[in-house]
Chains A and B, each alone.
Chain A
Amino acid sequence: METVKNFDHVDQIIDAHQGEASSLIQIMLDIQAENHWLPQEALARISKRLAVPLTRVQHIATFYKAFSLVPKGRHQIHVCMGTACHVRGAPRVLDTVEDLTGIQPGETDADLKFSLETVNCLGCCALGPVIEIDGKTHGNVTTARTEDVLKSYK
């Protein structure tokens, strides 16, 4: 779905939800999961197929944290900013990740290598501070260890 000239994937997902307008968010989540971001063309397609105004689709896409309107890098870094991680030093870990990658939360670097996001709690509080990269959880990351963790991703 690089350029989304063909809507097969989008259509398949919509069909899997029987094209119901009440499944709008679920459909968008599925597309996000598959494509890692929501291209404008996909939003327009959803709007047309479900007969839902495009403004509502846009509203949802910008309201919820799970959605991205820009392409994502090869590796997605989620720094947990939950309370348990916070009291164990997550802000300093985030600072370090920002320094090392040169990007802020919500951004993707120029080489499309890393995308950085913060999340409010991954529920692995016993291991805090936690960063999750491509679904793999790295626990007890100190500022000093962050660099080693990031280096292992090419």
Chain B
Amino acid sequence: MPRLSTVEELTEFRQELVATREANRPCVAICAGAGCLASGASEVIAAFKAELAAQGLEAEIDTRGTGCPGFCERGPVVVLHPEGICYLQVKPDDVPEIVAQSLKGSKVVERLLYADPATGERAIHESDIPFYQHQERTLLSSNILIDSRSIDDYLAIGGYTALVKALFEMGPEAVLEEVKQSTLRGRGGAGFPAGRKWEGSRNAPDTPRYVLVNADEGDPGAFMDRALLEGNPHAVLEGLMIGGFTIGAQEGYIYVRQEYPLAVKNVLHAITQAEAYGLLGQDILGSGFDFTIKVHKGAGAFVCGESTALMTALEGRVGEPRPKYVRSNIKGLWGKPTVLNNVETWANVPHIVNRGADWFTRTGTEHSKGTKIFSLVGKIRNTGLVEVPMGMPLQDIIYDIGGGIPGGKKFKAVQTGGPSGGCLPEEMLHLEVGFDELTAAGSMMGSGGMIVMDEDNCMVDVARYFINFLTEESCGKCLPCREGLRQMHRILTRICEGNGRAGDIDTLEELSEVLTEASLCGLGQSAANPFISTLRYFRAEYEAHIEQKRCPALACKGLISYWIDPEKCKACLICMKRCPSQGIEGGKKQIHVIDQEKCDRCGVCFEVCPEKFSAVVKLSGEPVPESLPMAERTLVRGSGK
């Protein structure tokens, strides 16, 4: 392992690395991100290693666990280099066939390729899959090129060249100018211009200064930062070091949630490697710049993603926000100037330094430049991480990349911005994604969660879900947030349970106003958004719940009943056996009937009823039809019933 003390040594080392690596050396790249690991990627990696060894190929073909390529829906994802053949949903049992056909031979295993859902046409290469075709992957593209735990891999693809350029060619003023010119806006939520934040800290007289990475990615349904930190931790470290150099900080912290154990592990490993190489520590590459990075694990509190709460937590105290009379870039961690940006923002920095602000501003809308990673999840065919240029219309993301809604269902809403964001309806799908565009529509960019909902999702229930989430996560320090959310949650719950009253909507609106105006921190100030946006676009659903005691989406447990259509029931016994409440009467050749008294509306019968029968139906706002008298329940086969 080299300790690099000058730029020349680094350049030489990089050249050696590149020279010893054959560009066309075969390699099996298997996604080792958390999503694919959950689908069994480690077994697949082990199977490849074993099979290659058994075939005596381990000296010729590398096996690499990479970062997340984004197509989590079809994980584990395996890509064979240099051909770029992409296999999806690979099981350990498939491995011998892949090795025999594609690695020893030159055939493709058809059945593991991506198949177009409409035409059935197979796509051999990753780049042929529509999910990837419409993306612009600046940040995520490196994820699949490198082993997430290898600094050599990162160096070989040009890693730490931006740091060298900043340290030796540009100097702090020029870097700051470049970042300001790029108009890079923070990817964590509010979209504050990073350059201006940095400048404030740089000009603050107080020392020492600090740079922090916010990797407390608490928005449910969002995992962009996890994928970056797991897959390419050095890119984040490099960005952070450049930031530290620019504002004159010598210490950096990464605040990462402990729910992401792999991210913690990989970033700690990356720091150790960078230290060993002399890229972190004293007098980095002989530049005179000293810099260290520490990792702080978050103990599970959503509010700690808020800047002042995060800093309080870093100081070893309970993560409660504090008032921002003075911005934290002037008085932050331990009262000193502190720049806090999120993972994705930092990961953009090396690209801006290397390629320049002009390159960066070529992509995007007028006020939102560059690309943005979204986690496209929920009721969508191609779930996963997508990186697109700012300004791409929502419908292109959802339909062209996401492949639309599965199961022939109808699109209802897309929720962006995490718990502080909002739900946008179909008529807003033309909207171009950007910070200001989303805010104007009543939602927000947030960190990039994009949750698609279909006709089966109830918007009142979604509002209740987020308000419940925020009620639990409110730190309780200020009253409007603590009590306001609790009351909102009570009212929304009662509406969902069918006990909504006239005037409830007005009360909720009033509470929302107080929350927004009077809360101490961003959590409370934006907490009413899920309610406000769903009311704005889906008022009729609220009214149906309150006035007709009906849930139009057939989702709210308190407002629905399950009923078996006697015309369709084939007395197959499946639902009867699975019902946890023993609430279904019937027998062989005897039409099944749900005992409404016993039914606790768990929905198991609805799930297990074979699709070809679809006899179990959900009803809301109407009485359950009288059940057939015992005498008429006998099923007459072939009668058309």
Contacts and interface: CB of A to CB of B under 8 A. Distances in A.
Contact of B300 (A22, A66, A87): A66
B469 A120 contact: yes
Query: What 6 pairs across the A-B complex have the smallest Cβ distances?
Result: A65-B300, A126-B72, A82-B220, A64-B299, A123-B223, A137-B38
A29 interface: yes
Nearest to B221: A83
Contacts of B226: 123
Nearest to B453: A87
Contacts of A121: 218-223, 259
A83 B38 contact: no
A83 B451 contact: yes
Nearest to A123: B223
B192 interface: no
Contacts of B196: none
B293 to A, nearest CB: 15
Interface in A80-121: 81-89, 91-92, 95-96, 99, 119-121
Contacts of A86: 220, 462, 465
A125 B38 contact: no
Contacts of A89: 603
B268 to A, nearest CB: 12
A21 interface: yes
A125 B377 contact: yes
A44 interface: no
Interface string A58-90: 011001111100000000000001111111110
Nearest to A33: B258
Contacts of B367: none
Interface in A132-154: 137, 139, 142-144
A68 to B, nearest CB: 11
Nearest to B71: A126
B637 to A, nearest CB: 27
A1 interface: no
B308 interface: no
B297 to A, nearest CB: 6
Contacts of B258: 29, 66
A144 B38 contact: no
Interface residues of A, number: 47
B221 A125 contact: yes
A85 B384 CA distance: 14
B474 to A, nearest CB: 12
B222 A29 contact: no
B35 interface: yes
B315 A22 contact: yes
A124 B72 contact: yes
Nearest to B379: A87
A12 interface: no
A25 B313 contact: yes
B606 to A, nearest CB: 9
Interface stretch (B90-98, B134-142, B316-324, B613-621): B316-324
A143 B602 contact: yes
Interface string B1-42: 000000000000000000000000000000000110111000
A137 B72 CA distance: 14
B607 interface: yes
Question: Which one of A21, A23, A65, A119 has the highest number of Cβ atoms from chain B below 10 Å of its Cβ?
Answer: A65
Interface of B: 34-35, 37-39, 72-73, 75, 217-223, 226, 258-260, 296-297, 299-302, 313-319, 375, 377-379, 383-384, 415, 449, 451, 453, 457, 462, 465-466, 469, 473, 475, 557, 578, 580, 602-604, 607-608
Contacts of B377: 83-84, 125-126, 128
Contacts of A23: 316
A122 B257 CA distance: 11
B220 A126 contact: no
21 contacts: A20-B316, A29-B297, A63-B318, A64-B319, A65-B300, A65-B301, A81-B220, A83-B377, A83-B451, A92-B603, A120-B218, A121-B219, A123-B34, A123-B223, A123-B226, A124-B72, A125-B221, A126-B35, A126-B73, A143-B602, A143-B607
B186 to A, nearest CB: 21
B602 A125 contact: no
B217 to A, nearest CB: 8
B578 to A, nearest CB: 6
Given A23-B316, A24-B317, A139-B39, 11 more contacts: A59-B318, A81-B469, A83-B378, A84-B377, A84-B378, A87-B379, A124-B72, A126-B377, A127-B35, A127-B39, A144-B608
B292 to A, nearest CB: 14
B318 A60 contact: yes
B414 to A, nearest CB: 11
Contacts of B75: 126
A119 B473 CA distance: 12
Nearest to A23: B316
A144 B300 contact: no
Could you say which of A84, A99, A123 has the most chain B C-beta atoms within 10 Å of its C-beta? Answer: A123
B219 A25 contact: no
Nearest to B75: A126
Contacts of B38: 124, 127, 130, 137, 139
Given A64-B301, A66-B258, A25 B316 contact: yes
Nearest to B72: A126
A92 to B, nearest CB: 6
A75 B473 CA distance: 26
The interface centre, meaning the residue of A89, A124, A127, A143 with most chain B CB atoms within 10 A of its CB, is A124
B299 A67 contact: yes
A13 interface: no
Contacts of A88: 378-379
B44 to A, nearest CB: 15
Most interface-central of A25, A60, A83 (chain B CB within 10 A): A83
Given A63-B301, A130-B38, A142-B607, A95 B379 contact: no
A43 interface: no
A25 B301 CA distance: 12
A25 B299 contact: yes
Given A82-B220, A143-B604, A123 B35 contact: yes
A56 interface: yes
A125 B375 contact: yes
Contact of B383 (A21, A81, A125): A125
